[in-house]
Chain A
């Protein structure tokens, strides 16, 4: 085991000596998360809204003025009929429409509850989500102030409707996407480069002629990048949670285990590439064109997979990143447990086993 430790130590030296690359590898995820994060997380101000008040009583007027006095919303259109809602959205006049049901105050007095419908234009998902949460916040505050000091409670239920993009697909999508991209970059590309480097410099022959076993050479080469991937993973999660308030609703342990699985998939891809590529440049080209581009473009990170033509959808199925993004989204945003992501996990596991088996076989035949 001593010789293996020495080998891993040597690999770390390579990484540290090439400090420029290391700074890039650690700095890039940080910069990407921050850039994407701020691009998405604009403060909400002056959102144009429309109001359709079917009740026109004291209560609805109070609530309307409370909403408008918040500085976040500007009343652009006072609608009189339901048919005008769609037109207002389509003309782009308003981003949100608030609809009060008829007999609002009366219902609230008699039954203690009344409904408000909030319709948002979710083609700008982030804005829609923000506007929505601000509006519901104001309504909640309003109903609490009504109930304050009284025995009975008044409940105003906001009924939410997102138009055009009902599941708000790109909100917080950037974090799983960046995780996939960065882990793919470090694990697959850097691994393939570091192994082909030994080939190019002629040191691989010497290693193979030494008592080191092939699996030890592979493990030793991979170890520093495994550690670097984990460091980056921690950084990305930490920044998205602390700076951007990204939730991790599911189990953190499951999340990390899934990430470790994806790292393994990417590492085996890197090893496979290194067995095919003869030089570092070839390895880099294969990694960039064959892995990075599809990962960024086709994993559903930037463009929704459902909107792609079927050949691209088909390609996206063989990308590990696609399954990884689905898993991470489920765990972080929906808070689902393992039973909801086991299928995707199985896909990733079988991909990993296949790739690892193939690359070990390929690596041995070169002896």
Chain B
């Protein structure tokens, strides 16, 4: 269980003179839930996009599942799952069609697609809605479905870019149950969020401020090192430190 799935070293991305990600170094172990925390514009999304192969880093090194992000993009793409801020489901397709489509582009066989989509639908309790359009589903269900679809091909790691935007705390908790289940199955999870209550759910956290990793550790470690009671206070502390 100590195998590192993600290793980055001084990963940097510049857009012109603006440095979105500044020398980020971290590693994520197999089955670990790693949180990227930070205000909007702190560089979380940029970091995820570089790791998914959507953006080319300006400098630095990174490997995912042993594959180099510069050279083995195609192999990496087969081994990762990605869920964007907008849930990435097609509203005019049915639940089943969405599952089958995503399973299909990740090269699952027809038999596997059938089995997994059946399993997934029953796990989520969506049997009745299997043939209804995504458009007609409540937001919380869409979100859970989007996550399950992102891990349908059992990737080594799944990237979640602010997956819980606009969802109530109860649904958010249910969503995290899914994340825990995936982590138990050995899938590493890299999740970005700006909800501080969610930070407590993560195994380890990196706090991002202005493109840099300002602090990293388990929620308990972070809280004790700043001598505060909640992640929110840790965040305030770091953000204030930036302003001074």
**Residue A42 lies at the interface, judged by CB distance under 8 Å to chain B:** no
Interface size band for A: 20 to 34
Q: Is the beta-carbon distance between A10 and B85 smaller than 8 angstroms?
A: no
Q: Evaluate whether A202 and B101 lie within 8 angstroms (CB atoms) in the complex, with A211-B74, A367-B54 already known.
A: no
Q: Is the beta-carbon distance between A202 and B87 smaller than 8 angstroms?
A: yes
Q: Evaluate whether A6 and B104 lie within 8 angstroms (CB atoms) in the complex, with A201-B91, A211-B77 already known.
A: yes
Which of B91, B101, B105 has the most CB atoms of chain A within a 10 A radius of its CB? Answer: B105
**Residue A210 lies at the interface, judged by CB distance under 8 Å to chain B:** yes
| A interface, over-half SS | helix
**Residue B93 lies at the interface, judged by CB distance under 8 Å to chain A:** yes
User: For residues 4 through 46 of chain B, which have their beta carbon under 8 Å from a beta carbon of chain A?
Assistant: none
With a cutoff of 8 Å between Cβ atoms, the chain B residues found around residue A243 in the complex are none
Residue of B nearest to A18 (CB): B92
Which of B74, B89, B90 has the most CB atoms of chain A within a 10 A radius of its CB? Answer: B90
**Residue A212 lies at the interface, judged by CB distance under 8 Å to chain B:** yes
Q: What's the nearest-Cβ distance from chain B to residue A237, in Å?
A: 32
Q: Is the beta-carbon distance between A201 and B54 smaller than 8 angstroms?
A: no
CA distance A3 to B53 in the complex (A): 19
With a cutoff of 8 Å between Cβ atoms, the chain A residues found around residue B90 in the complex are 10, 14, 201, 203
Q: What's the nearest-Cβ distance from chain A to residue B143, in Å?
A: 13
Q: Is the beta-carbon distance between B82 and A6 smaller than 8 angstroms?
A: no
Q: Could you write out 29 A-B pairs with CB less than 8 Å apart? A: A3-B104, A6-B100, A7-B105, A10-B93, A10-B101, A13-B92, A14-B90, A14-B93, A201-B88, A201-B91, A202-B84, A202-B87, A202-B88, A203-B90, A205-B49, A205-B52, A205-B54, A205-B82, A205-B84, A205-B88, A206-B82, A207-B105, A209-B53, A209-B80, A209-B82, A209-B159, A211-B106, A212-B105, A367-B54
Q: Which residues of B contact A (CB under 8 A)?
A: 49, 52-56, 74, 77-78, 80, 82-93, 97, 100-102, 104-107, 109-110, 133, 159
Q: Which 7 A-B pairs have the closest CB atoms?
A: A202-B86, A6-B104, A209-B82, A206-B88, A209-B52, A17-B92, A3-B105
